[in-house]
Structure 1
């Protein structure tokens, strides 16, 4: 569960769907939010077990959760009730600094079940229908600073 918490970090989160186990057919991946914010996003392949290089116009600022497939994989489509194995790169949307990188470890399982569909529909709808090997970008609005 520690890895899934990275989804709540403000900024840009890259998720790579690495594989899954069989289940029922589903539609294609659904984008959410102002996906034009990702128009400047460029990924560079850094090889196996390494996070991709990420470049984007800074600051990246969104007012709602925004998700988009950046690079489509060439595997089968991920289906509902599968377990997607994902790697995460979380970066700060203001300056691009790395907040979390799980690419050097084994991919983390993300169960695409009804609990995720209800609790995080944006994430569920983005993964279900995505091809295995795809890279997805997710931006979450930052938390306002506390006034004192």
Structure 2
């Protein structure tokens, strides 16, 4: 007997937004209000540029996807660091064309071959990456560094 076919139901999410001279504010999120600003200037206060929010969503979602995959594989790790970089096209109104997600996994339980497999699994199973992959080239790079051995007393 083969594996189970998973069918995902549509999930509806409603977020209320308000706009003023500063930017656009998402109201009523789990942790308060999120502000997207049009200019990163002291005059406008603290907030995030829309491109930062998009790239952060990709990094955060792919990190959570990696955590679930490692949990299912029963692989131990002591840390994961993700660095995100983006490339924009100035000729196309600063369109985001490429996002690089660089993962560093600290583990003695993961080798380079498994890291390559993890990159493929994260790319294919991350909802945010799958949502934008036809428009943005999302590239994952996985490196493994050994965890420090703990000294026994």
Q: Above 0.5 in TM-score?
A: no
TM superposition score normalised by structure 2? 0.25
TM superposition score normalised by structure 1? 0.26
Larger Rg: 2
